[in-house]
Each structure stands twice: as C-alpha cells, then as structure tokens.
Amino acid sequence: MKNLIAFIVLTTMLTACGETKKEEKPVLKIGQTTQNTTAPKGTALALTGNDMMQFDKKELTAKSGEKITLTFRHVGQLEKRVMGHNFVLLVPGTDITGFASEAAAAGADSDWIPNDGAQVIAHTKMLGGGQSDVITFEAPQPGVYDYICSFPGHSGMMRGTLTIIP
C-alpha cells in the first residue's frame, strides 16, 4: 500500500512538473481587431453630397476629445467646377452667410476656403462627382458646430450640425 501511495504521489509530481500553463488569448472572429485601451477612442463618420445640393445627413455626433475620421463622398456625376462639394466644419459663432460670401470671393484657387481657414476647424478638399476625401481631426469641446459646403451658392441648402458630447 505504501508503494502504491508513493507511486501515485511521484506520478502526480512528475506530471505537474512537465505541465506548462497556457496563456489565454482573446478569441477573435474574422474581420475583428483588438483594441488598445490606452489609445484614445475614435469616431468614424461618413457623409455624402449629391448633384441636388444635399448632404445625406443633417446631424452628426461625436465625443469631445476623440479622434474623428470623416469620409466625405460626392455621389453625384457633375464635375467639380460645376457642382463641387466639400465638408467645412466652422468655428462656433461663424456667420454662415458672411463666410459663404468670403468663400465665393476667395475662389477655386483657395478651394473656396477664405482667410486661410481662420474660421474653420476642419475641411475636406473640394470634390467632383464620384470623388471622395478622408480627413482626421480631434473633436472640439462639447457644443453644436455648423458644417456647410463652401462652393458658391451651396451653403443655403448644404448645411448641418456636428454635436460634440462630453
């Protein structure tokens, strides 16, 4: 009996010595990625403009301090010189009508952005039908921010708000 107990104890010890502890890794599905929790979170936004001078969304939302990646697509067919569109996020308190007049005066050489962008938080380049642009910027302080298309005559119809929440 003593030999049997000694054999069991010895076998258990030898088995335990050769055993390695497996590191548990999270299970990922195809197309899923891991997220680094130390990096700031980001928000992906998408917006389109068409040949009828309309944005597909009048309201966008993001969190303050997050990195915003905005994809803007001109889903129409008309050329940039005829029906160009862009996304222009304005500084709070900007007079849209005044900004639009200044944009028209600034012209195509400045991509319809007046005063070297002094009243602009972020903007895409001017696009023609079928084109797209992606911009990345940090979400500003909480509040409601106007966005427009600065192509001459478009800001009256092509406008919306980006609400930044805490």
Q: For every one of its 166 residues, what pLDDT tens digit does the chain have, with 9 covering 90 and above?
A: 555 455 555 555 555 555 445 555 555 555 444 544 445 579 999 999 999 999 999 999 999 999 999 999 999 999 999 999 999 999 999 999 999 999 999 999 999 999 999 999 999 999 999 999 999 999 999 999 999 999 999 999 999 999 999 9
Ordered by start, the domain boundaries in the chain are 42-165
CB atoms within 10 A of CB 135: 16
Q: How far apart are CA 111 and CA 107, in angstroms?
A: 7
Fold of the 42-165 domain? Immunoglobulin-like (2.60.40)
The alpha carbon dihedral of 57, 58, 63, 64 has a sign of positive
Q: How far apart are CA 50 and CA 122, in angstroms?
A: 20
pTM score of the predicted model: 0.76
